[in-house]
């Protein structure tokens, strides 16, 4: 399913949804007037709405020129060919880059430093598609003609190079699945409450503790008991025992 293009809707209605998105998702927004005057993400979207209409009508040069001016004013670069739905919120916005063939659905949220980039020099669909209500954390890079399903979440600084299922949470470099199914009835703001790193293994700590367990076993020492305040190598879990480590090595 391809998200609808806001250019096919009423400009005023789209602007109202964009403004309401700022008020709903930015606790620092003091009111409508403040959001209109002081929200660079909203300014970038308004400029893009005009530039995109010029682009669609064949005015490529003025569309690119307008996009260039908006980039200088807001620090947000949106190619005029990108298709962006209504109710989109770009928080802070500095360093956001949205490529030409990107498609963003309704009610999506992008934080600063997000890149929707391409992986090809050919004139084809080469940028990501975000379905409705996607949340992309600060500094995340989404590359290529991938699809990010509705209600999905991308953790900060993740690098996503493959499709993301509906309702999933992905984190890391390269991004991996950390949470598959969105709870029924979970509101849009639910991403504030869940920690997407729960259950995600820290590979460096896992290897260090495995080596420590091997050394202790070779010296005939008992397994080390973890300190009470020691962080587990899996968030929400506990370090494996020496027997578990040996068993896993025999299997591999």
Domain CATH code at residue 133: 2.160.10.10
Q: Are residues 229 and 182 in the same domain?
A: no
Confidence of residue 222 (pLDDT cuts 50, 70, 90): confident
Domain boundary, last residue among 192, 211, 231: 192
**Percent over 90 (pLDDT), the chain:** 56
Average pLDDT value for residue range 164-180? 85
Domain boundary, last residue among 171, 192, 213: 192
Answer yes or no: is 44 within a domain. Answer: yes
Measured CA to CA, the distance from residue 141 to residue 115 in angstroms comes to 5
Residues ≥6 apart with Cβ < 8 Å to 52: 6, 7, 63, 80, 81, 82, 83, 84
The pLDDT, as a whole number, for residue 6 is: 60
* Structural contact between residues 110 and 90, judged by C-beta atoms closer than 8 angstroms: yes
pLDDT digits (tens, 9 = 90+) for 153-162: 999 999 999 9
Q: Are residues 229 and 170 in the same domain?
A: no
The pLDDT, as a whole number, for residue 191 is: 41
Answer yes or no: is 197 within a domain. Answer: no
Q: Are residues 122 and 74 in the same domain?
A: yes
The pLDDT, as a whole number, for residue 200 is: 59
User: pTM for this one?
Assistant: 0.68
Q: Are residues 15 and 139 in the same domain?
A: yes
Q: Are residues 241 and 163 in the same domain?
A: no
pLDDT digits (tens, 9 = 90+) for 191-221: 434 445 555 567 788 888 889 999 989 988 8
Q: Are residues 178 and 57 in the same domain?
A: yes
Q: Are residues 12 and 97 in the same domain?
A: yes
Q: Which of 106-120, 180-194, 226-240 has the lowest mean pLDDT?
A: 180-194
Q: Are residues 131 and 213 in the same domain?
A: no
Measured CA to CA, the distance from residue 209 to residue 83 in angstroms comes to 48
In the predicted model, is pLDDT for residue 84 greater than 60?
yes
Measured CA to CA, the distance from residue 114 to residue 137 in angstroms comes to 7
Answer yes or no: is 198 within a domain. Answer: no
The domain tally of the chain equals 2
Q: Are residues 113 and 228 in the same domain?
A: no
Answer yes or no: is 119 within a domain. Answer: yes
User: To the nearest whole number, what is the mean pLDDT of the chain?
Assistant: 83
Domain limits at 65? 6-192
Q: Are residues 101 and 120 in the same domain?
A: yes
Residues ≥6 apart with Cβ < 8 Å to 164: 146, 147, 148, 149, 152, 154, 170, 175
Q: Are residues 146 and 237 in the same domain?
A: no
pLDDT digits (tens, 9 = 90+) for 123-134: 899 999 999 999
Q: Are residues 49 and 28 in the same domain?
A: yes
Q: Which of 18-32, 151-165, 224-238 has the lowest mean pLDDT?
A: 224-238
| The most confident of 75-79, 167-171, 212-216, by mean pLDDT | 75-79
Q: Which of 37-41, 54-58, 169-173, 244-248 has the lowest mean pLDDT?
A: 244-248
Answer yes or no: is 232 within a domain. Answer: yes
């Amino acid at each position: 399913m391809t998200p609808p293009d806001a250019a096919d809707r009423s400009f005023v209605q789209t602007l109202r949804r964009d403004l309401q998105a700022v008020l709903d998702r930015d606790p620092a927004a003091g009111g409508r007037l403040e959001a209109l005057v002081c929200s660079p993400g909203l300014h970038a979207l308004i400029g893009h709405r005009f530039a995109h209409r010029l682009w669609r009508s064949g005015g490529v040069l003025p569309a690119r020129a307008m996009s260039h001016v908006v980039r200088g004013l807001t620090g947000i670069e949106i190619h005029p060919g990108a298709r962006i739905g209504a109710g989109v919120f770009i928080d802070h916005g500095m360093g956001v880059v949205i490529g030409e063939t990107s498609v963003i659905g309704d009610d999506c949220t992008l934080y600063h430093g997000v890149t929707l980039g391409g992986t090809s020099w050919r004139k084809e669909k080469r940028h990501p598609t975000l379905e409705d209500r996607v949340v992309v954390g600060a500094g995340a890079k989404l590359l290529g003609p991938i699809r990010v399903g509705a209600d999905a979440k991308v953790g900060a600084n993740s690098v996503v190079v493959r499709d993301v299922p509906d309702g999933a949470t992905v984190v890391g470099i390269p991004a991996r699945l950390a949470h598959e199914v969105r709870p029924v009835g979970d509101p849009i703001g639910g991403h504030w409450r869940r920690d997407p790193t729960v259950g995600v293994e820290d590979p460096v700590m896992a290897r260090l503790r495995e080596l420590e367990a091997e050394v202790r076993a070779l010296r005939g020492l008992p397994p080390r008991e973890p300190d009470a305040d020691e962080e587990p190598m899996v968030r929400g879990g506990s370090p494996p025992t020496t027997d578990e480590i040996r068993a896993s090595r025999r299997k591999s």
